[in-house]
Structure 1
Amino acid sequence: MKVLIIEDEKPAAKRLERLLLSYDDSIEVVAKLDSVKSVIDWFQTGKMLDLVFMDIQLADGLSFEVFDHVSITAPIIFTTAYDEYALKAFKVNSVAYLLKPVDDEDLSDAFAKLNTLKQAPETVNVTAVNSMDQIAAAMQMLTRQYKNRFVVKTGEHIRSIAVDEILFFFSREKATFCTLDQGKNYLLDYTLQQLIDMLDPTKFFQINRRFIISLRSVKDIISYSNSRLKIVLDHFSEQDVIVSRERVNEFKAWLDQ
């Protein structure tokens, strides 16, 4: 099997090569490349290979930029330090993605998935991992700038609030509010649906139709009826705050990130 490693950190590239040879000593690492430009140049030579290990952040940009210039038909296994939230846009279409530092078990699982896909080509086309729609969506997520501040009005005054000061957002009587560390509420000119697209998903989670919370706001989590969860929020005691049943598993994954 001819394998190409795309990785801008030399120690990481060497470590991955050692893991590959340990997994299967018949694997041939044809090259180790560290930049978008070098990857484009390599693929333009028309050389053939069987598998690509591709880091996302390279020396001169994101590896997704490669797909604007060349077509890669070999299956790709992404290696990255980015978390699952940033990768979910293309996770289902890639052979696998491995969080660095890659270990033996992760590598073995990735090859197992690759072999499964090869045995069922009618179900999944392993060469379709570079679907441009999916890659464009992933690149947008990785380069996206999330909201850092909100402007609020207090009487005749205007204040700029840092997102890091906000414990949670909630809706009440068709209005949306944010609650700060001190327990102060401020009215916002956004709906919760608009807010969830503006906020970093690693920091905020929408638990139901009325609340978007930060981890800092959670004082306690209690099992509730019908497989739901009750959240005790800092500076909020007006009513029970419940994680809707359909969001419980995703909420637990968010807590465990």
Structure 2
Amino acid sequence: MQILIIEDEPRAANQLLNKLKTENFDYQLLTVIDTVEDAVLWFKENKSPDLVFMDIQLADGLSFEIFQKIDIDAPIIFTTAFDQYAIQAFKVNSIDYLLKPIQQEELNHALNKFRKSNKQLAVDPAILKKLLGSMQTTKKREGILVKEGNGFAQIRIIDLLYFYSHESITFGVTLSKRYIIDETMDQLFDSLDTDQFYRINRGQIISKNSIQKIDSYFNHRVKLSIINPRDQDFIVSRQKTSDFKDWLNH
């Protein structure tokens, strides 16, 4: 049984593999892929695996985007930290899903469903493309709740220059202040207008309005000069550089 894992969090991928071992699931791991771009390249160059575990939120976008660029005939079990994605993906077709953190019992259920289906969990690319389109056109938030003193305050999204994560805490920065935000980077980015905000790497999200200068950086990356950087370096990851440049041109 050859499996492929599409997951941008190494810890989550390792946890899944450990749980598969607990289930005595006989498998050969082909590889772990963490971006939409690399997944598309892999499917173009390799024979389809017997089963794919696919995270919905990847480092460079939603995994549903993979289906816009290539047809996949392998059975897929989605994994996600977001209930709304899990419910939508599950309703698409006879596709199963695992809500993070993955529970052993739920994994067992998904594997049993896979076995009973004679390894034919159908994926309808047309429906997934429609689902992706509906997600992309969803109205994005205009404000965000931040911690301030002993309470909370509402800040306009347009006033945020960038967001970053440090020691599992999410921060939002304006021209004059830094705020603590009680959301993960994944949850936050999913709610932002992607015409105005871009996730340059796993730990940083920047707005177009915050960029002052763009410089070439080693290993085919780019480094950004940002308003009020607060000792942060802003480097666009290699796999996102091309997409980042496209984002700036729109």
TM-score (norm. length: structure 1)? 0.50
The reply to whether residue 83 of structure 1 matches residue 83 of structure 2 is yes
The alignment's C-alpha RMSD in Å is 2.4
Q: Secondary structure at the match of 1:101?
A: coil
2:40 equivalent in structure 1: 40
**Secondary structure of the corresponding residue to residue 115 of structure 2:** helix
2-structure distance, mates of 1:43, 1:110 = 23
Tell me, in whole angstroms, the C-alpha distance in 1 between the residues paired with 2:14 and 2:86: 26
* Equivalent pair of 2:8/2:35 in contact (CA under 8 Å): yes
**Which of these two proteins has the greater Rg computed from alpha carbons?**
1
Q: 1:85 to 1:71 in 2, by over 3 A?
A: closer
The secondary structure found in structure 1 opposite 2:74 is coil
Structure 1 alignment gaps of length 5 or more:
120-124, 150-199, 201-257
Contact 1:95 1:114 in 2 (8 A): no
Letter aligned with residue 34 of structure 1: D
How far apart are 1:13 and its partner, in Å?
Answer: 0.7
Match of 2:139 among 141, 146, 154: 146
Match of 1:137 among 130, 135, 153: 130
Distance (whole Å) between structure 2 residues aligned to residue 133 and residue 59 of structure 1: 23
For residue 90 of structure 1, report the CA deviation from its aligned partner: 5.0
Say whether residues 1:100 and 2:93 are aligned partners. Answer: no
Unaligned ranges ≥5, structure 2:
143-190, 192-250
User: 2: distance between equivalents of 1:27 and 1:45?
Assistant: 21
Residues 172-219 of structure 1, C-alpha deviations (whole Å, 9 max, x = no match): xxxxxxxxxxxxxxxxxxxxxxxxxxxx9xxxxxxxxxxxxxxxxxxx
Aligned residue in 2 for 1:64: 64
Alpha-carbon offset, residue 42 of structure 1: 0.9
Residue 78 of structure 1 and its aligned partner are, at CA, apart by 0.3
Which residue type is aligned with residue 10 of structure 2?
A: K
Structure-2 residue corresponding to 1:52: 52
Tell me how far apart the structure 2 counterparts of residues 141 and 13 of structure 1 sit (CA, whole Å).
28
Task: For residue 118 of structure 1, give the secondary structure of its aligned residue in structure 2.
Answer: coil
Q: Structure 1 CA distance, aligned partners of 2:53 and 2:6?
A: 6
Mapping 1:227-242, distance limit 5 Å: none
8 Å CA contact 1:90, 1:137 repeated in 2: no
- Within 5 Å, which residues of 2 pair with 1:1-257? 1-84=1-84, 87-88=87-88, 90-118=90-118, 126=121, 128-129=122-123, 131-146=124-139
Match of 1:122 in 2: none
* TM-aligned CA deviation for residue 92 of structure 1: 4.6
Cα offsets for 1:200-250 (capped at 9, x unmatched): 9xxxxxxxxxxxxxxxxxxxxxxxxxxxxxxxxxxxxxxxxxxxxxxxxxx
The match for 1:153 is none
Q: Alpha-carbon deviation of 1:89?
A: 5.7
SS of residue in 1 equivalent to 2:97: strand
Using the TM superposition, give the Cα deviation of residue 117 of structure 1 relative to its aligned residue in structure 2, in angstroms.
1.8
Q: Distance in 2 between matches of 1:142 and 1:86?
A: 13
In 1, Cα distance between equivalents of 2:61 and 2:24: 31
After superposition, the C-alpha distances for 1:75-102 in whole angstroms (9 at most, x for unaligned) are 0000001214763365251430111111
SS state of the match for residue 118, structure 2?
A: helix
1:107 Cα offset (Å): 0.5
